[in-house]
A and B are shown apart, each in its own frame.
Chain A
């Protein structure tokens, strides 16, 4: 796994780009994510079914992981069973 990898959920439509990562397992809907979608969909775990939002960045508390959602889905993201939280951009008052 390295930054720039595109990961797909085994349990829903979610796709993310990896911005930062470490050695843990990145999951969506409770199932490990991979570069290819498995032939058989994994079940969506109830604890990880809050959904992902397009364009949101998801991070862990220690700052080791950062994922950018590029396709939304019903599952929610976690690393080794610990849920990730959204990180907001600090929007400029349209300076560009």
Chain B
């Protein structure tokens, strides 16, 4: 079965209902389906092997996603924030592709790779000009790959995670009731299109017949204004966005938020004080913490609205603690905690989170990560309490997650070690109210050298990497802790830095 069925059904049941609002333009489900069928024509003619998006969210993301599905070509939205060299390498891995978005950049960095490139405007225009007769077209049966997403590549080259039509449909059919949204309902989508949450948000809303209100790039004031003017009822944010929205409200911005009744968050650790403030600022909204991964087609566990309020109101420390949990596994998936030898651990003991279910792909283009019984090792570390609530204790491989952006300690350390006065260095996550986690570094000064200034080290990282890698906390230490195998004990460093 093809994920395009979700849009076909919405267009069949409610052709004239507005399905998408972006930059003031409104698209009905019938418009979106016609455009997706037009996109099929372009894709079919181009003989591309992938359909890529190199752009912020817009109607083009919806049209390209479903057009690619109809054509049986994987849809591969790319992270436009990547540096040129990294992006060119990813484009090379999907050549020849039909690329929608930044024409000039594709031409400049990957002009010799054989891509067919359309600007957003031209693509949107062309797909509306095509008048395909659906009956005459052989649309793909949907037995293959619907979406390919490159992981952020924190430990090695980015991996190409694969989501089949069956994974995405398993998730949507299992968790969304068809046409269950009121005509007045609207979901504000602000997650980037290359994030799994950005894709599942489109599929869920379309199948529920809930109007999608797209904000191409996040800015707290624009977000709050859209909630007001579009009378938004549902929204998903990453923790960093929530912090900035709260900040704006506390500074006195006045908007009508009374329609907002469901706020979901995920994509990183939500600081306790932020969610407590949010609950107080939006007393009528239901909050949901959603935990999921690219490889699991989005959400696999969640903490629902009642559980949030219950935890906030409770005197029982175990119930209070749930506010910092990921909630309970969805009824449609199974979750286990295992130790390093693969043994299933009892409640309360921390290990690696494993998950199994129809929506779990666990598959990369290179190979599948599923074990023989279909379990996917998430590389996230956590535990489950006696009542079945899942808690995340960190990434199994010590990745620093700053405002939803994953960064590898290794790349920061490599840069630090280029400084003549630095003998050894370790980067680790430190708690941050604004970002969930931020970068902390512990540095050993080389004998015979004076300690470099903090500003000097910050500038070194800013110049060589991105500003998000600049450490919030710097400590100078005599030596770093290593185990007998010579392996750096990052967790120990984390403790020193925290």
| A-to-B contact residues, CB < 8 Å | 3-4, 17, 19, 54-57, 68, 70-71, 88-96
Known: A89-B175, A95-B236. A17 touches B5 (CB 8 A): yes
Of B143, B197, B299, the residue contacting A92 (CB under 8 A) is B299
* Interface: B163 (CB within 8 A): no
List 6 additional contacts besides A91-B180, A96-B204, A96-B205; criterion CB under 8 Å.
A55-B178, A55-B207, A90-B174, A90-B330, A93-B262, A95-B288
B432-466 toward A: CB 8 Å interface, digit per residue (1/0)?
00000000000000000000000000000000000
* Interface: B425 (CB within 8 A): no
Tell me how far the C-beta of A18 lies from the nearest C-beta in chain B, rounded to whole angstroms: 8
The answer to whether B179 touches A54, judged by C-beta atoms less than 8 angstroms apart, is yes
Of A19, A55, A68, the residue contacting B177 (CB under 8 A) is A55
Report the separation of the CA atoms of residues A3 and B1 in the bound assembly, to the nearest whole angstrom.
7
In the complex, chain B residues whose CB is within 8 Å of the CB of A93: 262, 264, 286, 288, 302, 304-305
In the complex, chain A residues whose CB is within 8 Å of the CB of B331: 90
In the complex, chain A residues whose CB is within 8 Å of the CB of B9: 54-55, 70
In the complex, chain A residues whose CB is within 8 Å of the CB of B177: 55, 88-89, 91
The answer to whether B264 touches A94, judged by C-beta atoms less than 8 angstroms apart, is yes
Known: A55-B13, A94-B262, A95-B266. A89 touches B201 (CB 8 A): no
In the complex, chain A residues whose CB is within 8 Å of the CB of B299: 92, 95-96
10 contacts between A and B (CB under 8 A): A4-B142, A89-B175, A90-B331, A92-B299, A92-B302, A93-B262, A93-B264, A93-B304, A95-B299, A96-B290
Report the separation of the CA atoms of residues A47 and B176 in the bound assembly, to the nearest whole angstrom.
30
- The SS class assigned to the A binding surface is loop
* Interface: B254 (CB within 8 A): no
Nearest A residue to B203 by beta-carbon distance? A96
Which residues in window 280-319 of B have CB below 8 A to A?
286, 288, 290, 298-299, 302, 304-305
The answer to whether A56 touches B290, judged by C-beta atoms less than 8 angstroms apart, is no
Tell me how far the C-beta of A76 lies from the nearest C-beta in chain B, rounded to whole angstroms: 18
| Residue from A92, A93, A94, A95 whose CB has the most chain B CB atoms within 10 Å | A95
Which residues in window 387-421 of B have CB below 8 A to A?
none
Nearest B residue to A90 by beta-carbon distance? B331
Report the separation of the CA atoms of residues A47 and B428 in the bound assembly, to the nearest whole angstrom.
67
The answer to whether A89 touches B302, judged by C-beta atoms less than 8 angstroms apart, is no
For the complex of A and B, the 5 pairs showing the least CB-CB separation, nearest first, are: A55-B178, A95-B290, A96-B204, A94-B262, A96-B201
* Interface: B276 (CB within 8 A): no
